[in-house]
Structure 1
Amino acid sequence: MSMTYLAQREDQQKLEWIDGGTFSVLLDKEATGGQLTVGRFEVARGEAPPFHVHTREDEIFMLLKGSALVWSGEEESELREGGIVFLPRGIPHSYRITSDRADLLMIATPGGIEGMFRHAGRDLATSRPDGFEIPKSLLAEAAELYGGVVLGPPR
């Protein structure tokens, strides 16, 4: 058996994301022939994306470290360290980190959602502009470009 793609940690793109967290692109659609995207969030208490829905991909989140509240539709659940959640496309969802720090693994299939993170996030290999933030309008634009719809504010 041979590997068709390998990227060491130092080779993975790391982006500044909402609420000062980071999103690392571990595998993108180019690396997987379009099959999936794998990313990793390293975030702090209170980090929460807007309530949203994906039209193109299903998502899986595994909480490697920390705790969070997860909303799927109107249902609220607690996700504890080691827990995993499957979020099918078309189902509105969001989460909020409730621990001091959290480490989340995200898998999306098919691949391509990394384009949204690249469009709105800032590559940490570049200089950080003074006062950098991701405005809601840019987040909504990035979501729309990649098949997402922002439905409302974070929960």
Structure 2
Amino acid sequence: MDATGSPAINSVAINPIIRGREEGERRWFFGGGVHIWKAKAEETGGAFMMFEDQMSGGKMTPLHTHPDSDETMFILEGEILVHMDGREHRVGEGGLMVAPRGVPHAFMVTSPHARMLCLHTPGCCQAFYWDASTPLDAGAGGGAVDFGKVQESARRNGGIVLLGPPPFGSH
């Protein structure tokens, strides 16, 4: 119990984090998209990790699960099509998608570009994202999509299980 009588959630001391819109380490994710890291797992005592994902239209993910973390996506700009539990859902600006751990899902950007916050609780799959990306200088664009590097990072680091190709037909 904490001082208020509530159950203690995390006994690891966490330092305050304050970052502006463009602040945070920038990385090109080999699956497509620029990640701007807002909170790393080591900054939150492992409770969560969060990054902003800036993506171009047409970017899609393979069908996958995160076996040990829940993935939450809040759409800041644009629209994505989410495939979850065999159904497709459009999620636009201000919308939210939560994929509980172990639930197969994928998404595709259907607008010309999209920005979203991606939150993993707990922050246990950070090694996957880190190893499947490379640092970018401020203001720099992305690089080449390389799903081989994404698959290799998944194999080495865990945090994600790739189940198959993107499940989207023609949209």
- Note the 1:25-44 alignment, pairs <5 A: 25-44=37-56
What residue ranges of structure 1 are gaps of 5+ in the alignment?
A: none
Provide the TM-score with structure 1 as the length reference: 0.86
Segment of structure 1 superposing worse, 55-64 or 141-150: 141-150
User: Match for 1:81 among 93, 118, 126?
Assistant: 93
Answer with 1 or 2: which has the greater Rg: 2
> Structure 1 residue 26: deviation in Å?
0.8
Q: Secondary structure at the match of 2:43?
A: coil
Corresponding residue for 1:63? 75
State the number of aligned residues: 149
4+ runs of 1 displaced by more than 4 Å? none
* Alpha carbons 2:75, 2:93 under 8 Å: kept: yes
Taking the aligned partners of 1:65 and 1:54, their CA distance within structure 2 comes to 24
Provide the TM-score with structure 2 as the length reference: 0.79
Greater strand share, structure number: 1
Alpha carbon RMSD of aligned pairs, Å? 2.1
1:99 aligns with 2:116: no
* Alpha carbons 1:120, 1:134 under 8 Å: kept: no
1:138 aligns with 2:133: no
* Alpha carbons 1:67, 1:80 under 8 Å: kept: yes
1:52 aligns with 2:70: no
> Structure 1 residue 50: deviation in Å?
1.2
What residue ranges of structure 2 are gaps of 5+ in the alignment?
A: 1-13
* Alpha carbons 2:65, 2:162 under 8 Å: kept: yes
Taking the aligned partners of 1:83 and 1:11, their CA distance within structure 2 comes to 23
Corresponding residue for 2:19? 8
Residues 41 and 18 of structure 1: is their aligned pair in 2 closer, same or farther, counting only changes over 3 Å?
same
Taking the aligned partners of 2:42 and 2:159, their CA distance within structure 1 comes to 18
Q: Quick one: percent identity of the two aligned structures?
A: 29
